[in-house]
């Protein structure tokens, strides 16, 4: 399922990242890689703040939807 649907506070493993190369590359440099653990900390109308590799990253809905967990 996409990250937007993940339950708040529950750690998930990233299965896949979809989308254009450029965006995917950027997400990867932020630590979003397949197999990495990601936790949604809070969610407002599809926009999420998640925890990955000890940082908090804010993502809008369209970006969060590209991360499949």
Please work out the total of residues on this chain that contact other proteins, with binding judged by CB under 8 A.
Answer: 34
d(C-alpha 16, C-alpha 32), whole Å: 9
Tokens coding 33 = 């890689």
- Smallest gap from Cβ 10 to other proteins, in A, equals 11
Q: Does 15 bind other proteins (CB under 8 A)?
A: no
Alpha helical stretches, state H, the chain: 21-29, 61-64
Report if residue 10 touches other proteins, rule: CB under 8 A: no
Residues 24, 63: Cα–Cα separation, whole Å: 9
> Site residues (CB under 8 A) for other proteins?
11, 21-23, 25-31, 33-34, 36, 39, 41-45, 47, 49, 51-60, 62-63
């Amino acid at each position: 399922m996409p990250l937007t649907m993940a339950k708040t506070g529950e750690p998930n493993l990233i299965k896949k990242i979809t989308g254009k190369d450029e965006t995917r590359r950027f997400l990867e440099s932020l630590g979003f890689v397949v197999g990495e653990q990601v936790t949604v900390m809070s969610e407002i109308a599809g926009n999420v703040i998640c925890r990955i590799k000890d940082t908090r990253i804010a993502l809008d809905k369209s970006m969060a939807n590209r991360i499949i967990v």
